[in-house]
Structure 1
Amino acid sequence: MVMLDEADHDHEPEAPLDMLENYFSAHGWSYDRHDDEISASVKGSWTEYELRALWREEDGVLQFLAFPDVKVAEHARAAVYETIGLANEQLWLGHFEMWSSSGILLYRHAAVVDQTEEEATLSLNAAQVLVETAIDECERFYPVFQFVLWGGKSPRDAIAAALIETQGEA
Structure 2
Amino acid sequence: MLDESDFERDDVAAPIDMLESYVAAHGWSYERQDEEIIVEVKGSWTQYELRALWREEDSVLQFLAFPDIRVPDDRRAALYEAIGLVNEQLWIGHFELWSSSGILLYRHAALVDGAEEGTLSLAAAELLIESAIDECERFYPVFQFVLWGGKTPREAIAAALIETQGEA
TM range (shorter): over 0.9
Question: TM (normalized to structure 1)?
Answer: 0.94
- 1:67-110 deviations in whole A, cap 9, x for unaligned? 00101011110000000000001111110000011110000000
Question: TM (normalized to structure 2)?
Answer: 0.95
1:5 maps to what in 2? Answer: 3
Q: How far off is 1:157 after superposition?
A: 0.1
Distance in 2, matches of 1:47 and 1:101, equals: 22
- 1:120-161 deviations in whole A, cap 9, x for unaligned? 100000000000000000000001100000001000000000
1:72 maps to what in 2? Answer: 71
Q: Which runs of 5+ in 1 are unaligned?
A: none
The one-letter amino acid of 1:112's match is L
1:27 maps to what in 2? Answer: 26
The one-letter amino acid of 2:13's match is E
Quick one: percent identity of the two aligned structures? 75
Distance in 1, matches of 2:66 and 2:48, equals: 6
2:16 maps to what in 1? Answer: 17
- 1:48-67 deviations in whole A, cap 9, x for unaligned? 00000011111000000000
CA RMSD for the aligned pairs?
A: 1.4
SS in 2 for 1:53: strand
Is 1:50 matched with 2:46? no
SS in 1 for 2:12: coil
SS in 2 for 1:26: helix
2:110 maps to what in 1? Answer: 111
2:145 to 144, 147, 150: 147
Structure 1 consecutive aligned stretches of length 4 or more whose deviation exceeds 2 Å: 167-170
Distance in 1, matches of 2:22 and 2:74, equals: 39
**Residues 60 and 115, structure 1, Cα contact 8 Å, conserved in 2:** no
